[in-house]
Amino acid sequence: MNEHAPLLRVENLSITLKTPSGEQVQPLRGVNFELSRGEALGIVGESGSGKSMSMLALMGLLPSNARRDADSLKLGDKDLLQIEDTTFAREIAGKRIGMIFQEPMTSLNPVYTIGRQLIETATLYGRGTARAARARAIELLNRVGVPEPELRLDQYPHQLSGGLRQRVMIAMALMNEPELIIADEPTTALDVTIKAQILDLLADLQSELGMGMILVSHDIGAVSRAVDRIGVMYAGAFVEKGPLDDVFEHPLHPYTQGLLQCAPRATLAHGGPRLGAIPGSVPSPFKRLTRCAFSDRCPHVHDACYGSEPALRSAGNQAYRCVLDAEQLQSDNDHSDKGVVIPHATPVQVEHGDPPVLALESASCVFTTRRGLLGRSKDNRAVDDVSIALHGNEILAIVGESGSGKTTTARMMLGLQQPTSGVALFRGEALEKSTPRQRAQLIQPVFQDPYSSLNPLRTVGDSIGRPLVVHGVGNRASRRERALEIMSLVGLPERFYNSYPNQMSGGQRQRVAIARALVLEPKVLICDEPTSALDISVQAQILNLLLDLRERLGLTYLLITHDLAVVRYFATRVVVMKSGQIVESGETERVYTQPTHPYTQELLASISDPLRRSA
Amino acid sequence: MMFCPLKRWTPASAGALALGLTMLLGLAGCTDDGSQDDILDVAFQSQVSNLDRTFTTKREYIILSQLIDDFLFDVDPETLKYEPLLAKSYEFINDTTLDVTLRDGVKFHDGSTLSVKDVLYTYNFVLDPDNGARANRNVSDWLESVEQIGPMTVRFHLSYPYPLALRDMAVTVPIRKAGSYTVDGELDKSALVTRENGLGPYEVVHFLPGREVMLKRFEDYYDGSPKGKPAIRQIRIHTISDWGSAQAGILAGELDWLYNVPGDIARNLDASGYAKRLVGPSMRIGFLQLDAAGLTGENAPLTDLRVRRAVNHAINRQSIVENLVGAGASLIATSCNPVQFGCETDVQRYPYDPRKARELLTEAGYPDGFPLTLWAYRDPYVAEAMAQDLRDVGIDVSLRYVPLPVLNKARSAGEIPAYFGTWGAGGTADVAATLSVMWNMNTDRNLAQDPLIAKLVASAERTQVKETRRQLYSRALKRIADQAYWAPLYVFPQNYVVNKRLGFPVPSDGLPRLYLTHWRSDGDSTSGDRASGGTVGNKGGN
Amino acid sequence: MSSIDNTLPERQTSAGVEHTESLITLTPRQLLHRRAFSHWGLIIGTLTVIALVLLAVVGPLVLPFDAYAQELAGRLQPPVWAGGDWAHPLGTDHLGRDYLARLLIGARISLTVGFFAATLGCIIGVTLGVCAGYFGGRIDQAVSYLLTCQLALPQILLAMALVFLIGPSIYVVIGVIGVLQWSYFLVVTRSAVMRIRELDYIASAKTIGSSTRSIFWHEVLPNLRSQIIVIFTIEMGVAILSEAALSFLGVGIQSPTPSWGLMISEGRQSMFFNPWLTILPGIALFLLVMGVNLMGDGMRDVLTPEGRH
């Protein structure tokens, strides 16, 4: 075996799918890359980019209606194209290639113990004895940082936390000393602090064991923490490849440039320049393209871009897919970075003299669960003696990890949840005294999941107009007018009026949700993770939209999120919650630059800024 | 609800499939005869759960009782006269005194010999109302006392000259061994329910109440009995209430004798060639009883004579008898079986005339008819046909088809405005057996409650003079017809379906005597030889 | 905001404006149609049911035979293929009534009873299910207890007893079957509502100020439509069979009204020699229930495929 031969070599990998309407489309087109031993490659992209599909194609896990084509697909000197499924399962999967998935909850079998699953990986097909496997399992669990490994072997997945489960997944991937690890969104479902730990762990293991690693993610910051080289995918193909630092410092492809501008950065002070935005949205993977995939969104688009899909060009260590020259793209980017006046994100001053618009005073929310009718009851203090004041025109962010109680707090302020003690106040009066109708005209929510927040059987127009129907305002014609008015306010073209949610993208749906929230002219919008489910480029659009709306309509926002970068960009004031209690609060910049509580410090330490390395 | 909602192959289709299979099997499995095992397999529709005739009245028990019990007298199946059975001889000293001399050497099934003591015990037991013997109702009316007057002679003292004394003795009082109902010093009326100790030509070998009775010929049955000695050694009585199963049984050769077979089935079975149909007369008549007395309501429509006459005109008896009941049936216009003594046939008739019926209804004030619940407990096809006939003249009939006990209960509660009833008169060829039961003022069977008829009927039972009786009955029956209290329908034929190799003499009174059956070697069951000689022809055609 | 141009990217505002290329995705209704017309079971089932409904509704009006006219002289005529004549194509029953006419009226009975009994069960089950699923807590416990009781009852025996006590009529039969047949509705509705209850558009409806009743009517029930339709068709098949069973046992539809179950029972006695008396209504029942079941299964595949949301 040649020592210098690449570990993995992929040439011209494509996937062809048959759509329900009978067309044949290619969600993955002509993907090439190489991976040397001991090297870590990050693949970044938004939804529809094909990044996960390429990994599935590699592992032969595609659905039955998809066809995989490639010129070459080699692991070492083993040709993966020619190999039989059974041979692949026996010799490659789990043995030479280890895979880590996104959802540790569902990728571990809930009915078997951890130990059994770990040991099984190493004893399948007679790979090894159970005793040896058990010893190795314990060794690996130690290595990945799972405390008390002998105990854990006999536990079931549901007895471990998310972070621990993911560590177990990593251990499982490593059981057979694979040459290559593929991690598909390994940290997306984890809390911020855990995210950082897992990524560091992966980086350490990879360099220690000399394995190759492919890390696929939509989170640029996460990827940048653990890889050497990076590839950016868009609409089924690579648009840029190169060493991490090079790509981040001198992005060549307009998409990469846009992407880096879109991402909010937790290291940039609040009140800085607006987030960049890539107008438009990610194309549906079902569309067959005969032009540059990015041409409809590119700021540098020419006629040449519409001819055919450009090929990858190299410029030094980097490769990019564009008709323009590297220098030209470089300078354009630098230009757009400096000089052009971009309006500031938010006015920093906020009047604190006035009474708070919305407030919680010593509110607690205790959930009592009881096993059966007569069992013992257990109290869960989701929110413990919390006092928050939301002042007019400010943007207050509540930050915390899962289980911190931030969502329950938001629900109490929305009036959806009664505090078990304490009180929620609107303009000084108790919230529960008002009827839901009265509350509706003052406070409105924007939820996280744009699909589940819209009734799938309603058209956009009906969804937006629904609050008017419930409040008995106007007639059908006037409601339609108002709906269209709001739609243009949030940037939705008129023709969407009769569309259904399942015909729209995530960003569009979220705009609908925002439009619906605005229809009754409320004073306060409570946004619960409004952009967490969206792609980065779309996230930037929505955040900027919210900022615009606040200026035009004089709104006040309460933002619930776990994303520290978004908070620093967006919010004027921050409250940090942990286990149902407020541990720190204050103006954004103060909290970020001089955190007092250790938990806040821990959170801030886990931030990964892709551009920090260069700034 | 009851079926798994996701089953594709529904029970209906499975049932149809099973049905087809059963038919194939049933027809394929037809063996020739069951006579090789010398057991006569008979099937009753109704359950046998009590072996003691003293406490039962159902037809099935009467048939069984013929086999295992003997009475002082017996009804000759051909002549319908009363012959001495256990009695060697009898004499009416005067109108109210009867002397009966017993035979010698008659044995109970347990081996002991019949004596006067047993006869006295039996009749005294029956006379005591506390014992609840079924015969008590009849017998206590006319019998005052019994006493022994000779070593084998009993004297019966009647309270008045009752014309049917011999009949009651022959039909309702089986002779029991003295002390049968005293167990461990206590009265036990159920002593003979599951064990019997009779005097008849057969004894019970084993008994599964409600399912099966196994009989064996009693070898010590006395010579010279008018019943003769049975030719078939064993009889097994099954209970099969479903005609489908009964048909399957006879076709497969598992059953040898069915009676009370519906006309359609009997005809079909005979036509199949696997069994033989025998038709005989019976004493049973069918009729509609109408609530003339207004028991269901003061102004019930049927209290009006015109309405009752309309009902009589509305029923197409001819068609029903021809098409539904079949051969052996005969129409009646009077409320008794013409064969019975005293049955007056020259009475008012109501021919089938739906138009006239409508006129009468309109006259009576029911131009659009009225709702009527017609009850019935047997012969559903006939009941349905009559219901439809009534509907056709505008009476909105809803048919309630229920088991007999339910009907009896409803009738005694006064809930029945009209019902399709039948009466077999115990097989007695004397109109008294019908009229006294149906028309006395104390019975709930009397929906007319006519005191004049009751008086006539009662008087006719107080004399032995035939002519007097005949006249009294004639007046009563004419009045009944005039008043249209009933809608008399027809005399039931009795359809038997038997193994082709079985010889079975068809009785004139519709009461089958199974002790007269025998296996034929010539396949002709129509000639029924009695084991002790003499021939009998069956009285019906096919 | 500046004007919206659908084709070129909007550069002035960093908030962006939505535009996309033409959409391939179909509306929910179009998707439905496409799925429906390619599902064989659904098509066959629906056609069968429609054919039987047409026969039931139109047949008796068009044919010259009376299902109630008895003609004793012409009883037990065989059907045309067994030696009968076209005056009575399917023969006559034990009272001389035309069998074809009786089968058609019987179809009306089966369909009517099946439909209305299923409707009654639907109303009860869905109402209970929505309340139990939405409110949870004590109400859910009470309803679950009710469900356990209902499942423990011997259905046929109870139906027989009720019909016997109250008196047999078609309304009683419908009522009895409906009241004993809501468990499936309840279970499915309840779990669906428990899932929907957690979705954000319900929370959104609450914050808009919708009353609970309004939420039930406009948000929850429309999203249960598909499941309810599927269960309804399946339960209709069950109801039809239940009615046939009750009529067969004599505690359902009473004569002279023809019900297929009753016709089977009436023909039992003559089964050996006039088999068509039981076979024909049996086949009719089989066809109808199979059609209804195919329709229900087909609808389930089309309306609620896996992973719809």
Q: Tell me the CA distances in angstroms from B322 to A88, A435, B279, C92, one per residue in order.
A: 86, 82, 15, 17
For residue C236, pLDDT over 60 is answered with yes
Ranges of each domain in chain B:
30-52+200-274+500-542, 70-187, 282-492
In b/e form, how buried is each residue of B371-391, taking b as 16+ CB within 10 angstroms? ebbbbbbbbbbbbbbbbbbbb
Which of B1, B30, B241, B243 is most worth mutating to test chain C (most C CB atoms within 10 A of its CB)? B1
pLDDT classification of A301: cutoffs 50, 70, 90 = confident
Query: Is residue C177, in this structure, part of any structural domain at all?
Result: yes
Q: Residue A16's pLDDT band (boundaries 50, 70, 90)?
A: confident
pTM reported for the whole predicted model: 0.74
CA dihedral of A85, A88, A91, A95, whole degrees rounded to 10: -130
For the record, the structure tokens of B208 come out as 């599964």
Closest chain A C-alpha to C149 CA, distance in angstroms: 18
Cα–Cα distance between B417 and B421 in angstroms, integer?
12
Contact C207 A416 (CB under 8 A): yes
Q: How far apart are CA C32 and CA C26, in angstroms?
A: 9
Contacts of B327 by beta carbon, 8 Å cutoff, 6+ apart: B263, B279, B493, B540, B541, B542
Lowest mean pLDDT among A444-453, B50-59, B517-526: B517-526
Say which CATH architecture domain B70-187 belongs to: Alpha-Beta Complex (3.90)
Contact between chain C and chain B (3 or more Cβ pairs less than 8 Å apart): yes
pLDDT of A453 reads 87
C282 in contact with B, Cβ within 8 Å: yes
Q: What would the CATH number be for the domain defined by A8-111+175-227?
A: 3.40.50.300
What is the DSSP code (8-state) at residue B506?
Answer: P
Asked whether A468 and A480 are in contact (CB, 8 A), the reply is: no
C305 touches chain B (CB under 8 A): no
Give B269-316 as a 3 state SS string.
HHHHCCCEEEEECCCCEEEEEECCCCCCCCCCHHHCHHHHHHHHHHCC
The three-point CA angle B368-B370-B375 to 5° equals 145
- From A583's Cα to the closest Cα of chain C, the distance in A is 28
The confidence band for A21, taking pLDDT boundaries of 50, 70 and 90, is low
Q: Nearest CA to CA, how far is B128 from chain C (Å)?
A: 40
C-chain residues near B271 (CB < 8 A) = 273
pLDDT tens readout for residues A274-300: 787 777 777 766 566 677 888 778 888
Tell which wins on pLDDT, B144 or A267: B144
DSSP conformation letters of A111-136: TS-HHHHHHHHHHGGG-S-HHHHHHH
Find the mean pLDDT for residues C165-192. 89
| A564 or B16, which is more confident | A564
Closest Cα to residue C236, out of C191, C190, C185? C185
More confident residue, A301 or B203: B203
pLDDT at A17 exceeding the cut of 80? yes
Residue C12 reports pLDDT greater than 60:
no
Closest among B118, B120, B123, B149 to B135, alpha carbons compared: B123
Maximum Cα interatomic distance, chain C, rounded to a whole number of Å: 95
| Distance in Å, alpha carbon of C40 to nearest chain B alpha carbon | 15
Segment B484-512 shows an average pLDDT of: 92
Cβ contact A564:A193 at 8 Å: no
What's the fold here for domain A392-418+431-605? Rossmann fold (3.40.50)
pLDDT of B540 > 50? The answer is no
Closest partner residue to C208 among A373, A411, A470, by Cβ? A470
pLDDT computed for residue B530 by the predictor = 38
Given this model, what pLDDT does residue A340 score?
A: 40
C177 interfacial to chain B (CB closer than 8 Å): yes
Query: What is the chain B residue with the closest CA to C156?
Result: B2
Which of B1, B15, B401 has its CB closest to that of C181?
A: B1
Q: What is the pLDDT of residue B156?
A: 95
- Between CA A291 and CA A308 the distance in angstroms is 4
Contacts of C209 in chain A (CB under 8 A): 435-441, 467, 470-471
* Model confidence pLDDT, tens digit, residues A150-190: 888 888 888 888 788 888 888 888 888 888 999 988 887 77
In CATH, the architecture of B282-492 is: Roll (3.10)
C201 and A19 in contact by Cβ < 8 A?
no
Measure the CA–CA gap between C3 and C26, rounded to whole angstroms. Answer: 28
- Ranges of beta strands (E only) in A50-134 are 66-69, 72-75, 78-79, 97-100
3-state secondary structure of A219: coil
Average pLDDT over residues B109-132: 93
CA neighbor of C209 nearest in space, from A443, A482, A447: A443
Residue of C nearest to B25 (CA): C272
pLDDT at residue C4, rounded to an integer: 28
Say whether pLDDT at B29 is over 50.
no
**CA distance linking residue A224 with residue B164, whole number of Å:** 120
* B401:C250 CB<8 A: yes
**Residue B183 pLDDT more than 60?**
yes
pLDDT reported for residue B113: 94
Q: What is the CATH number of the domain that holds C66?
A: 1.10.3720.10
C32 pLDDT higher than 80: no
B130 burial type by CB count under 10 A (0-12 exposed, 13-18 middle, 19+ buried): exposed
**Contact assessment for residue B535 and residue B529, using Cβ atoms and an 8 Å cutoff:** yes
What does the alpha-carbon distance between residue C114 and residue C243 come to, in Å, rounded to a whole number?
8
Under DSSP, is residue A19 helix (H, G, I), strand (E, B) or coil? coil
- The alpha-carbon gap from B240 to the nearest alpha carbon of chain C, in Å, equals 13
Best of C2, C4, C202, C208 to disrupt the A interface (most A CBs within 10 Å) is: C208
DSSP state of B340: S
Give the mean pLDDT of A84-113.
82
Say yes or no for a CB contact (<8 Å) between B268 and C245: no
Domain boundaries for CATH 3.40.50.300 within chain A: 8-111+175-227, 392-418+431-605
Total CB pairs under 8 A between chain A and C: 153
Q: Which residue has the higher pLDDT, A115 or B527?
A: A115
- Interchain CB contact of C1 with A (< 8 Å): yes
Mean pLDDT score across all residues of chain B: 87
Residue C90 lies in domain: 36-308
- How much is the average pLDDT of A121-146? 86
Identify the CATH class of B30-52+200-274+500-542. alpha beta
Mean predicted lDDT score pLDDT of chain A: 83
Q: How far is B327 from chain C (nearest CA, A)?
A: 14
Q: Cβ(A272)–Cβ(A288) under 8 Å?
A: no
**Amino acid A611: pLDDT:** 60
Contact criterion met (CB < 8 Å) for B16 and C241: no
Chain B contact set for C244 (CB, 8 A): 12
* ipTM of predicted assembly, 2 dp: 0.74
CB neighbourhood size of A390 (10 A): 22
Confidence class for position A450, pLDDT limits 50, 70, 90: confident
Given an 8 Å threshold on Cβ–Cβ distance, is C237 in contact with B242? Answer: no
Whether chains C and A touch (3+ CB pairs under 8 A) is answered by: yes
**Interface mutation target, options C207, C212, C218, C219, chain A, most CBs of A under 10 Å:** C207
